[in-house]
Each structure stands twice: as structure tokens, then as C-alpha cells.
Structure 1
Amino acid sequence: MAIPGYDSSNVAEYTLEQVGARVDIVAGVVPDAFGLEKSADEPPVDALADPVDLAALDEVKAIEAMRIALVYDPSRLPPGASPTDVAVAVDTDEGWEPLESTVDLEETTVTAVLNDRPPGSTVVAGYDDRDDESVEPAD
């Protein structure tokens, strides 16, 4: 499946079927070393799948678009959680950061589309409860 708005002949596709991960990328330079690998990193407690490494991400140049699609296990959602409260999360120096994502309930996949490289090279499908958090206004 190509990235919407991009000619499929310009999209490089990478799949790691054993963990249900796929990355489509449009960039000026995508090195041969780029690809997906099962991560050795410990997943966050709210992970709904195994983490995946985007190998050689730092070597990709002039990214126009990147789509990360991950299969997740809905049975791992916390009790009472909405099945749409799922996001692609990236491991950053500050912890796991959820990306703006779209959930396909029928395919049990979550997808993030970016116009730049993600803030880290390890991604996971995880429970995203940001909408449930409420911040009290200061008086």
C-alpha cells in the first residue's frame, strides 16, 4: 500500500512479517542497509506488540514521507480501553513518544505518516491514553 499522494514507483517498501511491521518511505537517498529488524529493546509496559528497529535510519537522506504500519494485539489493551486508543510510539531520550496515528480495527494495525524522520529508530504499537488525561487549569 503506497503513501497517499505519492507515486508508488517512488516509494520504497520494507516489511518484517514475523512481527507485522511495514515501512514505506519516499526519500532522496535510502541506503541498502535500511530496513526493519526485531528490536532487542525492552518494550514499554503499554506495548501491544514487539518493538521494531528502523535499521540505518540515520543514513536516510531527504525524507519526503514515511509511513510506519504495525500490527497490534487488541487483547493486550487494558480493561475498559477503547480499541482506537492505539498509536505508533517511538523510543526517544525522554521515553516512548506516541505519534499521530490512525487505527484500522478490521486489520488490527496502527499507522503513522510522517514528513520527516521519527525522533527515534525503535517503534512499537502501544496503548495511547493521552485523550484520557486532563490537565487542571492553573488559577
Structure 2
Amino acid sequence: MYIPLLESSMSIPGYRPSDTAEFALEFGGARAAVVASDVPDEFGVDDSVRWSPADAHEHALSEPVDLVGLDGLAGVSAMRIEVGYDPTGLPPGASPTDVAIAAKTDAGWETLDSTVDLTETTVTAVLNERPPGATVVAVYDGGEH
């Protein structure tokens, strides 16, 4: 384990906050926390330079963000990704619980198992490995996650 780079306020179930490094994108409402044996200095969350909202998932409810430095992560035990979303972007009649995080892969957008916080208008995915892609976005997935 390692010393966290920031004081963690975003816990990962089953892990002590002292074992968690957290990174936040101040203007995008996105945060990532990781427990890993090696976290590179460049790891963090940043505005996506590769994808604009128009290029993002067809049901995007947030700006796409990049998880920077994923390739340098080693020994990932857990990762938590949280993205704020705009509920006004939901289609008429859509359930607000049908929001998920999608990661951009070579094959397209892969929806991750996610949990919605209706009060905070955030969606969270907790993984036991690196996500399948470095660019993530909150999406309406029609209840398919």
C-alpha cells in the first residue's frame, strides 16, 4: 500500500481511507479513488481532450472526462469513479435511476455497473480493476446496467 496523495473523502467499500488515493476534477464534477500497489504521479482526472460532448455516448448526461495515467497503475485492488450528471438531459419519462458510467473502448462505449445518488446527482462505479477505457461519461442507459 502507499500513502494517499490527497485526503480521501470518497471511500471505497472494504478499504480504509488511508489506503485510498483520490483525485478530483474541480470543474467537471468527476472524481476517482484508487487502491493500488503503484500509482503514477500523472494519475488523475482531467477534461477530455479526445472527446467533446457531441462525440460522446449518444445519451451523455455529462461532459466526458479522462482518467489520466491508467496505464501506469499496477496492482489495482479497487477503483471508484464518480461523475456528476445533469438530470435535465434524461429523455421524457426516463427513470433517474437508469444512469450509469460508460467508458470508451476500442469497440465503442461500455456501460459499467453503477449506482446513482439522486440527491447529489452523481453516478458511481466501483471496480476491482482498471476501467476498460480512459474516457468516461455519465449516460442514460435505459435500465440496462
Instruction: Measure the CA separation in 1 of the matches of 2:68 and 2:20.
Output: 17
Instruction: Measure the CA separation in 1 of the matches of 2:102 and 2:33.
Output: 17
Divergent runs of 4+, >6 A? none
- Per the alignment, residue 91 of structure 1 pairs with 104
- Per the alignment, residue 22 of structure 2 pairs with 13
- Per the alignment, residue 24 of structure 1 pairs with 33
Instruction: Measure the CA separation in 2 of the matches of 1:95 and 1:77.
Output: 21
Instruction: Measure the CA separation in 1 of the matches of 2:58 and 2:141.
Output: 11
Scaled by the length of structure 2, the TM-score of the pair is 0.88
Instruction: Measure the CA separation in 1 of the matches of 2:29 and 2:64.
Output: 10
- Per the alignment, residue 44 of structure 1 pairs with 57
| Mapped pair 1:121 → 2:130 | no
Instruction: Measure the CA separation in 1 of the matches of 2:140 and 2:44.
Output: 25
Structure showing greater radius of gyration is 1
Deviation of residue 44 (structure 1)?
A: 1.6
Instruction: Measure the CA separation in 2 of the matches of 1:66 and 1:126.
Output: 19
Q: Give the helix-richer structure, 1 or 2.
A: 1
Which ranges of structure 2 fall in alignment gaps of 5 or more residues? 1-9
Q: Let me know the Cα RMSD of the aligned residues.
A: 1.2
Instruction: Measure the CA separation in 1 of the matches of 2:68 and 2:113.
Output: 22
| Percentage of pairs with the same residue | 59
Deviation of residue 45 (structure 1)?
A: 1.8
1:41-95 deviation per Cα after TM superposition (whole angstroms, max 9, x unaligned): 1212200000010111011000000000000000001111100010000001111
Q: Is the 8 A contact 2:99 2:143 kept in 1?
A: no
Which ranges of structure 1 fall in alignment gaps of 5 or more residues? 133-139
Deviation of residue 130 (structure 1)?
A: 4.7
